[in-house]
Structure formats: C-alpha cells, structure tokens
C-alpha cells in the first residue's frame, strides 16, 4: 500500500513538472513547486490524522503503520500490548526524547501506570504547560480517591475531553455507573491520536460496576 501511494505521488509529481515546463516556467520555480507539492501530500495527511482526525479506524491504521516509531509505540501498546509493553514504550520515549516537557509528561505517565501516585504527582507538578499540568494532577487525585481536589482541578480546565476524562476517572474510582457515559463523552470530544489513546486507555480499565 505504501509503495502504491509513493508511485501515485511520483506520477502526479511528474505530471505537475511536465505541465510547468510546458508553459515555460523557470526551472527554479518548477523545483520549488514540486518540493512543496511533495511536502504537502506526504506531510499534511500525517498531521491531520495525528491532531484532527475523528475516525478511530483511520487513526488505528496510522498508528499500526507507525508502531515502530517511539512516539506511536505508546498508543499502539495501549491497544495491543500488556502493561509491561506500555511501560516499555514509555521508557523508550524517555530514552529518545530528552526535552524537559516530554520528560515531565512521560515520567508522570510511567509513574501512573506503575501505580506510584506520589512520584507521578512530583513529575506532574514539573509540567510547565496548562492545561496538561492540571489534567495530570487531577488524574492522580482521582485515582487516589481525592475526588473533590480532582473536580476542583478539572474546573480550571477548558478542554472538554479532559473534563469528561476526569469525570470518568472519578466515576470509575467511586463505582459510579455513569462511568461509560463519561468515557463516551471524553472520546467523542477528543481528536487525533488523543482520541485513540483515550479509547484504548479506558478499554483497559476493567472494574465491575454495580
């Protein structure tokens, strides 16, 4: 499938090049247009799926194709691996991506998956971007049974999928039968890889409700 797509892009590029040359377009401009053409067709689809797609099937295919890349190995492990696979995928990201923001976020996630709320809270407090900082602190509070604090932190957040996600976590920990309702709202509000990550994360939460 990838080879076919590249062949189609190559043929389209050749067609564009031929057309531009036929109307006596300067060669430097032909080169620039062709490069931009390839960048748009090769890069934009990935950006759209990663950040804006609302199709879980489309996102699933994209994650599967890119599962060998560290940043996509994490959502892939959520959907297809066990807890150790998830931890290994996060550890790989931490090894390859040394930016402070990435380190704080993924160290928080790793501590959450290891059931270490105190350590997770320390790393979450170091996140310098809102609403991510409040979201992860609320996540940790909810999983620790501090529902009032989780709700207070959630009230500071203006991102609907985050609010519904915190509501879902509170419902999960308090055995509230509205858990599936909040999950559905959270996943529905999210887009791109975040939508897929939420869907797979909530699917892993197996706890009988009354």
Tell me which of 19-33, 121-135, 155-169 is least confident.
19-33
| Residues 102, 61: Cα–Cα separation, whole Å | 25
Could you tell me if 124 and 108 are in contact, meaning their C-beta atoms sit under 8 angstroms apart? yes
Query: Taking the model in full, what pTM does it have?
Result: 0.83
Q: Using CB atoms within 10 Å of the CB of residue 164, give its burial: 0 to 12 exposed, 13 to 18 middle, 19+ buried.
A: buried
CA separation for the pair 159, 24 (Å, rounded)? 51
pLDDT tens-digit map of 41-95: 677 888 899 999 999 999 999 999 999 999 999 999 999 999 999 999 999 999 9
Q: How far apart are CA 79 and CA 7, in angstroms?
A: 31
Mean pLDDT of the chain: 87
Which residues neighbour 201 within 8 Å (Cβ) at sequence distance 6 or greater? 78
């Amino acid at each position: 499938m990838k080879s076919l797509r590249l062949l189609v892009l190559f043929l389209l590029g050749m067609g564009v090049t031929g057309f531009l040359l036929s109307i006596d377009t300067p060669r430097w401009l032909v080169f620039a247009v062709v490069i931009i053409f390839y960048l748009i067709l090769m890069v934009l689809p990935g950006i759209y799926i990663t950040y804006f797609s609302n199709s879980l099937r489309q996102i699933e295919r994209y994650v599967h194709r890119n599962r060998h890349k560290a940043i996509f190995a994490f959502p892939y492990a959520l959907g297809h691996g066990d807890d150790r696979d998830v931890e290994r995928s996060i550890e790989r990201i931490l090894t390859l991506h040394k930016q402070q923001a990435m380190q704080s976020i993924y160290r928080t996630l790793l501590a959450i998956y290891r059931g270490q709320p105190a350590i997770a809270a320390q790393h979450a407090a170091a996140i310098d971007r809102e609403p991510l900082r409040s979201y992860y602190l609320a996540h940790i509070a909810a999983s620790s049974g501090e529902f009032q604090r989780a709700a207070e932190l959630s009230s500071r957040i203006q991102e609907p999928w985050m609010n519904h996600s915190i509501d879902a976590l509170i419902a999960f920990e308090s055995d509230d039968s509205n858990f599936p309702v909040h999950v559905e709202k959270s996943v529905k509000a999210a887009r791109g890889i975040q939508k897929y990550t939420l869907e797979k994360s909530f699917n892993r939460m197996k706890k009988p409700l009354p």
